[in-house]
Structure 1
Amino acid sequence: MAESLSATATTSIIDPFEHLNIKLNPDGSITRHNQFPTPHNIPQNPTNKLPILIDAHGGGFILFSAATQLFHETCCRLSAHLPALIVSFEYRLAPEHRLPAAYDDALEALRWLCRQANQIHGGDCDPWLKDCADFSRCFLLGTSAGGNITFYAALRALDSDLSPVKIVGHIYNQPFFGGIKRTESELRCVNDRILPLSVNDLMWSLALPEGCDRDHWFCDPTVEGPHQEKIRRLQRCLVRGHVGDPLIDRQKEFVKLLEARGVKVDARFREGGYHGVDLFDPSKLQILEDDVKDFIDASLE
């Protein structure tokens, strides 16, 4: 590993493994101690066709799934509020499957959706999609690491024929980016209660390709990489963040990058909050719902 986990430039009082409730195994894999229930609430089919949100969950690339209760319930609320059909996909977790595995899985989710759309008259399309979905109004949605994943998946999708699926916009909610050089917000929040810097570093060390450090373009989209020339081709984007998030400076840099490439960006940064606040604070979830609805409505005008 190019960058030692202990070689951080700051002092942390937090054990990142204990904080994440994981154990590093001798073979390099991790044991995840948390188990989460999978609720099964199936809403009634709407009368009119609905836009589709293709959703990637958060978890620092190493934790959780689409079935994790917090993410599932958030999607249920968002789906009812918009209204929209949300397709949450599973992706392989690091360190057992390091990046770009999650990007590959996200692109495969888009290809799966394309196959569903092409089977709509042949009887093999998923009934929910057949009855409810408007494949010409699709949005990519990602929270935290999911925002990173959907960003790079979107760039890959630009060179894929997904017809008749049409991606109209992208929603990046507190997207997870990093870099070697510390930002002011990272230094201010070294021992943040949700995302302390040592945990941030650990997640990247477990997720990035072997031999790579946080200067890799998977982590820092502002550095040189094959992605740069594609950014200008992205559809309009919503980028959300909170000042209390250690990653807020990274998210603002991300907005500047998009705008510099000519991408139409709706940036919404608010005071207070913390990383993942929408999952725990119902009032902040309501604001997320309103922001996403405003963005979708504006994108479909």
Structure 2
Amino acid sequence: MADQSATGIPTDPYDQLKLIRNPDGTITRIPQVPDAPATGDALSSDVLSKDIPLNVANNTFVRIYRPRDATKGSNLPLIVYFHGGGFILFSAISVQFHDLCVRMARDFNAVIISVDYRLAPEHRLPAAYEDAIDSIMWVKNQASNGEPWLRDYVDFSKCFLMGSSAGANMVYQAALRLEESESDLKPVKISGMILNQPFFGGVQRTESELRKMDDQIVPLPSTDLMWELSLPSGADRNHEYCNPMLKGLSESEIRALKRQRWLVCYGGEDPLMDRQKEFMKMLEESGVELVVHCEEKGFHAMEVIEPDKVKGLFDCIRDFVNSPSSE
């Protein structure tokens, strides 16, 4: 039995994250949650889902979710979603993220595309960011004569990028990378970025990290290990993928970020809260259109751990998706 801290959390982050360290530097993941099958055209489901290859060479795919009662030509919003897991855990079809996407499709009356991206350390960053851009360009290619669940049901001018934790970090990095490709996206228009509890870090500890270093969900040793395994080899936590606030934004990056509206959601009980506040300050100082939502009692990954507590979060996201663009 692994040694436990006073809070009952294993002192070895490999134990806490259910990982086995292999001699060659890879990891073996001990399954924590089952995968959920796609529904296909099962009429008993109020939200239908199916899997489609994204990049065969990278073994990536997307799972699409569509409300069953949607009619052709209904022009639903489209949300491209990136799951959490510190860049090293889970899949788009892990049951907690599958269930989350089902709820979002139902509650937001939207089509959801959940992206199964490559994981570290087998594929260190920026691999996940590249997969995010792959998914956006794939959506663009479906707009004319591609996937019927998109072509027949969505309004491609109402597309949003959304991520939780590491997935929210991916949304930010995708926004920077869209600077050069935005003109090539037509008829797709990215209308907004939705970041739920974005995963950032740094070498210097913040007050919230130290105060909640033994957090039940994201204890400090575990987040350190996630960054160690996911950042480029030899990089520390001040790398721009982990701590973009340290170097700030260039003029071209500011222009890229100002092209969309931003919604950043955070929880008052999340050890990463101070990082998220630093990130929001950076956005505000850059002049982006920013909406902030705080759940005072919110903890990291609350939307998948205690989904009955997400009404406030869901209401805010729904309002953001349905609000008219300022452009």
Match of 1:209 in 2: 232
TM-score w.r.t. the length of structure 2 is: 0.84
Counterpart contact for 1:155–1:227, Cα < 8 Å:
no
Match of 2:70 in 1: 46
Pairwise mapping of residues 3-82 of structure 1 onto structure 2 (< 5 A)? 14-34=11-31, 36-41=34-39, 42=48, 43-44=67-68, 46-47=70-71, 48-82=74-108
Match of 2:245 in 1: 222
Q: What is the CA distance between 1:232 and its match in structure 2?
A: 3.8
Match of 1:159 in 2: 180
Counterpart contact for 1:45–1:128, Cα < 8 Å:
no
Deviations 1:116-169 (A, max 9, x none): 11x33xxxx112112211111100000000000111012101210211110000
SS at match of 1:237: strand
Task: Write the distance in 2 (CA, Å) between the matches of 1:187 and 1:297.
Answer: 38
1:187 maps to which of 210, 213, 217 = 210
Deviations 1:170-201 (A, max 9, x none): 00000000111100000001111110000010
Task: Write the distance in 2 (CA, Å) between the matches of 1:224 and 1:276.
Answer: 28
2:158 maps to which of 118, 137, 140 = 137
TM-score w.r.t. the length of structure 1 is: 0.91
Structure with the bigger RCO (C-alpha within 8 Å, sep 6+) is 1
Runs of 4+ with deviation above 3 angstroms? 225-229
What is the aligned-residue RMSD (CA, Å)? Answer: 1.6
Q: What is the CA distance between 1:70 and its match in structure 2?
A: 0.3
SS at match of 2:116: coil
Q: Does 1:287 align with 2:312?
A: yes
Identity of aligned residues (%): 49
Amino acid at match of 2:68: Q
Task: Write the distance in 1 (CA, Å) between the matches of 2:17 and 2:254.
Answer: 33
Counterpart contact for 2:77–2:159, Cα < 8 Å:
yes
Q: What is the CA distance between 1:300 and its match in structure 2?
A: 4.5
2:195 maps to which of 172, 185, 189 = 172
Counterpart contact for 1:13–1:191, Cα < 8 Å:
no
Task: Write the distance in 2 (CA, Å) between the matches of 1:104 and 1:282.
Answer: 30
Counterpart contact for 2:293–2:313, Cα < 8 Å:
no
Deviations 1:15-71 (A, max 9, x none): 211111111111111101115222323142512110100000000000001101101
In terms of fraction of residues, the more strand-rich structure is 2
Counterpart contact for 2:238–2:246, Cα < 8 Å:
yes
Amino acid at match of 1:146: G
Task: Write the distance in 1 (CA, Å) between the matches of 2:270 and 2:251.
Answer: 26
How many residues of Structure 1 are paired with residues of Structure 2 in the alignment?
285
Task: Write the distance in 1 (CA, Å) between the matches of 2:169 and 2:251.
Answer: 15
Match of 1:260 in 2: 285
Q: In the superposition, relative to structure 1, how do residues 127 and 227 fare at CA in structure 2: closer, same or farther (>3 Å)?
A: farther
Match of 1:3 in 2: none
Q: In the superposition, relative to structure 1, how do residues 273 and 260 fare at CA in structure 2: closer, same or farther (>3 Å)?
A: same
Which stretches in structure 1 are left out of the alignment for 5+ residues?
A: 1-11
Which stretches in structure 2 are left out of the alignment for 5+ residues?
A: 1-8, 40-47, 49-66
Deviations 1:62-113 (A, max 9, x none): 0001101101101110111111100011111000000000000000101111
Task: Write the distance in 1 (CA, Å) between the matches of 2:175 and 2:86.
Answer: 19
Q: In the superposition, relative to structure 1, how do residues 252 and 128 fare at CA in structure 2: closer, same or farther (>3 Å)?
A: same
Q: What is the CA distance between 1:288 and its match in structure 2?
A: 2.0
Counterpart contact for 1:45–1:132, Cα < 8 Å:
no
Q: What is the CA distance between 1:244 and its match in structure 2?
A: 0.5
SS at match of 2:77: strand
| Greater alpha carbon shift after TM alignment, 224-233 vs 285-294 | 224-233
Task: Write the distance in 1 (CA, Å) between the matches of 2:125 and 2:251.
Answer: 18
SS at match of 1:223: helix
Counterpart contact for 1:204–1:219, Cα < 8 Å:
yes
